[in-house]
Homo-oligomer: A and B are copies of this chain.
């Protein structure tokens, strides 16, 4: 198969913020022609599926300025420099929900938008949840409502476009798939 690599000829930074950095790269294409690529650099993020013993999951309602609307998501947050992803997972779970967890299982990772960004998102399943008496404080510019929903309720929220983002819809599908697999194994 043909080699698809694009060599960087030059780079220019247009914006370097708290969350993202925007860079354009002049590249040499596999056929020797030139083109330019727009790249949004991101430190990476971790999301957690907080699963209660009842089978319900804890979700966070949050205003997302890019969408100009409030949606409901699994807890998540961006990684701090040099932070191990399991540490980010435990920190974000506690900051956003007020719960800590005993069991934290790594599930998978994926790039959220590989066409223009290097954001890599890691997903964990958290069980043995414990309500903290004094949880870590939320970020001072972060405002959140908490809710607990069953798998059926979560699927209804997807139908209503209240749950509307990739990581949360992946997580709900993951739970549905695993419920079905376990039910098959249980028989």
Contacts and interface: CB of A to CB of B under 8 A. Distances in A.
A66 interface: yes
Given A110-B166, A166-B111, A65 B141 contact: no
Contact of A116 (B6, B40, B173): B40
Give the interface residue-count category, chain A.
35 or more
Contacts of A17: 24, 38
A150 to B, nearest CB: 18
Interface of A: 1-2, 4-6, 14-15, 17-20, 22, 24-25, 27, 29-31, 33, 35-42, 45, 61-67, 70-71, 73, 76, 78, 108-119, 121, 140-141, 143-145, 158, 161, 164-167, 169-170, 173-174, 176-177, 180-181, 184
